[in-house]
């Protein structure tokens, strides 16, 4: 269930409090779709709290684990080709909450995409780092890869919108995991931009994959979106 995590609830609070959705005057990157501007500096306390809850190894759910254990777990429970994997990157917990619900619905395996060098927990610094990575087209090293990747034919790929795009760490993941021949269901959370350019980023990064309709939710509405998540998952089945 979309249960109770203190960190996740804080993450929802972050989405509400930290993002100004009206007007794009302060936005450094042109965003497709809805205007999104990051809140001004100096308000990281809620973000820091939410980060703590969303990090690897700190989740209270049984389906979530840190990079190495989740890799092992994913490999161990994939029975044969045709398996379903939920692979997610989540900095502050919103997208992870969606991932956990999908895992529950499908009894799928969960893999957390994480950088080898952990990201900062500071919100403003994270904005800068993410933008620098995007401008420089950096592909940060991922902490671990999926074992037995070939045993999965369906990948649910979760991520937040970052500066209107797929986070570079997710592109790193896709560059190391060949999705050709697999069905990919994208899902994401955001603070107003929706998928923006994320779907075209996925299409670019996943040649040969069968990328299906995605699910995009506002980060601050995840806790009230359980039935929407369930409906989307059942439509895909
Ligand atoms: C570095 C960074 C960049 C972001 N860029 C956008 C953006 O371009 N558009 C948007 O709507 N939200 C943006 N957000 C807000 C996140 O997409 C939103 O809070 C999301 O729900 C966070 O998901 P997570 O908790 O799984 O990390 C950004 C947040 C961060 C930290």
Q: Which residues, in sequence order, are CB contacts of 54 under 8 Å at separation 6+?
A: 7, 8, 11, 90, 91, 92, 93, 94, 96
What was the pLDDT predicted at 15? 42
Ligand 1 closest atom vs CA 189: 21
pLDDT of residue 39: 63
List, chain by chain if needed, residues with CB within 6 Å of any ligand 1 atom.
Answer: 11, 15, 19, 31, 36, 54, 90-96, 126-127, 130, 160-164, 189-193, 219
pLDDT in tens, 6-63: 333 334 334 433 443 333 333 434 444 455 778 654 332 222 223 333 322 233 222 3
pLDDT, averaged across the chain: 77
| pTM for the structure as a whole | 0.78
CB 154, CB 85: distance < 8 Å: yes
Atom of ligand 1 nearest to the CA of 54: 25
DSSP 66: -
Which residue's CA lies nearest to atom 27 of ligand 1? 91
Residue 58 pLDDT: 30
In the predicted model, residues of the chain with pLDDT beneath 50 are: 1-33, 41-79
DSSP type of residue 164: T
Name which residue sits closest to atom 1 of ligand 1, judged by CA.
Answer: 127
Q: Specify whether the CB–CB gap between 155 and 182 falls below 8 A.
A: yes
pLDDT score, position 37 = 78
Name the residue at shortest CA distance from atom 20 of ligand 1: 190
The pLDDT value given to residue 35: 54
Q: Which of 162, 169, 201 to mutate to test the pocket of ligand 1 (most atoms within 8 A of CB)?
A: 162
Query: Side-chain half-sphere of 224: how many Cα atoms within 13 Å?
Result: 5
Rounded distance, CA 86 to CA 152, Å? 10
For residue 161, report the distance from its CA to the centre of ligand 1, in Å: 5
Element (H, E) at 128: helix 123-136
Tell me the Cα Rg of the chain: 16
Distance 27 CA to ligand 1 centre (A): 13
Asked if 185 contacts 212 with a C-beta cutoff of 8 angstroms, the reply is yes
Which CATH number does 6-55+64-236 carry? 3.40.50.360
Domain locations in the chain as residue ranges? 6-55+64-236
pLDDT at position 215 is 98
CA 178 to mean position of chain CA atoms: 18
């Amino acid at each position: 269930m979309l249960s109770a995590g203190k960190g996740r609830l804080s993450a929802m609070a972050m989405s509400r409090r930290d993002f100004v959705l009206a007007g794009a005057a302060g936005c450094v990157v042109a965003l497709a779709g809805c205007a999104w501007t990051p809140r001004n500096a100096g308000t990281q306390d809620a973000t820091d709290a939410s980060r703590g809850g969303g990090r690897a190894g700190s989740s209270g759910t049984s389906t979530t684990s840190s990079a190495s254990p989740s890799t092992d777990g994913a490999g161990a429970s994939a029975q044969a080709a045709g398996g379903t994997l939920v692979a997610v990157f989540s900095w502050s917990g919103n997208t992870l909450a969606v991932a956990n619900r999908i895992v529950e619905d499908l009894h799928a395996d969960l893999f957390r995409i994480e950088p080898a060098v952990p990201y900062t927990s500071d919100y403003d610094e994270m904005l800068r780092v993410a933008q620098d990575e995007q401008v420089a087209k950096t592909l940060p090293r991922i902490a671990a890869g999926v074992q037995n990747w070939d045993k999965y034919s369906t990948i649910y790929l979760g991520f937040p919108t970052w500066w209107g795009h797929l986070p570079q760490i997710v592109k790193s993941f896709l560059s190391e995991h060949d999705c050709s021949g697999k069905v990919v269901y994208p899902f994401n959370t955001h603070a107003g931009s929706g998928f923006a350019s994320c779907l075209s980023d996925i299409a670019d990064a996943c040649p040969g994959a069968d990328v299906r309709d995605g699910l995009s939710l506002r980060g601050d509405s995840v806790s009230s979106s359980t039935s929407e998540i369930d409906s989307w998952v059942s439509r895909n089945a």
